[in-house]
Amino acid sequence: MDGTTIDSPETSASDAEKLAHFEARAAGDDEKLAYFEARIARGEKIEPGDWMPSEYRRQLIRMISQHAHSEIVGQLPEGAWITRAPSLRRKMILLAKVQDEAGHGEYLYHAAETLGATREEMLEALLSGKAKYSNIFNYPTLTWADVGVIGYLVDFAAILNQTMLAHCSYGPYARAMVRICMEENFHKKQGQDIVITLARGTLRQKAMVQDAINRWWWPTLMMFGPPDNDSPNSAVLIRWGIKTRTNDELRQDFIDKIVPELHALGLTIPDPKLHYDQASSSWKTGPIQWDEFRQVIRGRVPCNQERMQVRTRAHEDGAWVREAMQAYAERYSTGVVSTSNEEH
């Protein structure tokens, strides 16, 4: 990108993008902005100490903290099945997966901290309902098949989105994504394995997995975010290399990959309008219920209240750990505790 784009922002620029230009110009930061955008155009990573427009920082904190919250809240629907997994092997695998999600949340909170957000602020935003987390975790897990479908469909959707983010312009986020994607691939395999087993099982097992697909199909499509023409953040995120593919492009990619796989297992998709379009060589779905999406992300569903109650209780129960760490840090800073952990 060169200076021309800065002086003449495209007429299609989003409000966020226009605000970013306005702020940068008002602060006399035209040259810095041009240099920043040229670095992104060259494929360089932006690192924590580098100059960045305040709108770039704000967008990243918004997105990364929401992503972190999704990983943390995302432990709950599957975690509920750890004690009810049908075998020791399934239990061990699920336990490892849920622990991975906690780790992902940690990497992501750290990535957001590199931008100046504090853990306290982010947690406060989550627990007070100010911050969003992925729509998908506001649905209940009713049967064991739901665990398989979350791993197979939801983690696959997440992989497509996160593989894109592994190439994003902000170094700490991109690097966190590389490791997260490797682990997500394992998660997808565990889910796919459950779905295949149930689809090849008894009539009751097959009905159970079909029911799970029926309930999770549409929420999974919504995970990619609203349609491109109703996605206020996309323009600025794409301009600055945070997103490199749009919500609709990623959603279509997911549909084209997953539909033949589910059909091959003898499973159906709960969409009477789904059809293969020869002209575009892709699967076309019926309309997505975006009203439902809006209700769900605003937390206007019972599952959201339940998730927040569990997280709030966990936060309160963890108060003594935070206090102990604080006390230790104070004693360490005054030299009462040495680096080798021995008391003087």
Q: Please, which residue, 33 or 297, has the CB nearer to ligand BYC?
A: 297
Least distance between ligand BYC and beta carbon 69 (Å): 8
Q: Which residue is nearest to ligand BYC (CB)?
A: 74
Least distance between ligand BYC and beta carbon 279 (Å): 27
How many Cα atoms occupy the beta-carbon half-sphere of 54 within 13 Å?
A: 11
Least distance between ligand BYC and beta carbon 67 (Å): 3
Element (H, E) at 86: none
Q: Pick from 277, 273, 293: which is nearest to 285 by CA?
A: 273
Q: Please, which residue, 134 or 192, has the CB nearer to ligand BYC?
A: 134
Q: Please, which residue, 63 or 126, has the CB nearer to ligand BYC?
A: 63
Least distance between ligand BYC and beta carbon 270 (Å): 19
Distance CA 69, CA 141 (A): 19
DSSP structure string for 246-307: -HHHHHHHHHHHHHHHHHHTT---S-TT-EEETTTTEEE-----HHHHHHHHTT-SHHHHHH
Least distance between ligand BYC and beta carbon 295 (Å): 11
Q: Please, which residue, 149 or 154, has the CB nearer to ligand BYC?
A: 154
Least distance between ligand BYC and beta carbon 269 (Å): 20
The position carrying tokens 């760490």 is 325
Q: Please, which residue, 36 or 152, has the CB nearer to ligand BYC?
A: 152
Distance CA 134, CA 108 (A): 14
Q: Please, which residue, 34 or 160, has the CB nearer to ligand BYC?
A: 160
Number of Cβ within a 10 Å radius of residue 202: 9
Number of Cβ within a 10 Å radius of residue 128: 10
Q: Please, which residue, 39 or 67, has the CB nearer to ligand BYC?
A: 67
Name the percent of the chain in helix, strand, coil, to the closest 5: 70, 5, 30
Q: Pick from 155, 177, 223: which is nearest to 64 by CA?
A: 177
Q: State the Cα angle at 179 between 174 and 185, rounded to 5°.
A: 115
Q: Please, which residue, 36 or 254, has the CB nearer to ligand BYC?
A: 254
Binding residues for ligand BYC, per CB under 6 A? 62-63, 66-67, 70-71, 74, 101, 132, 134-135, 150, 154-155, 158, 161, 222-226, 231-234, 237, 247, 297
Least distance between ligand BYC and beta carbon 78 (Å): 6
Q: Pick from 113, 27, 20: which is nearest to 65 by CA?
A: 113
Least distance between ligand BYC and beta carbon 135 (Å): 4
Distance CA 66, CA 52 (A): 20
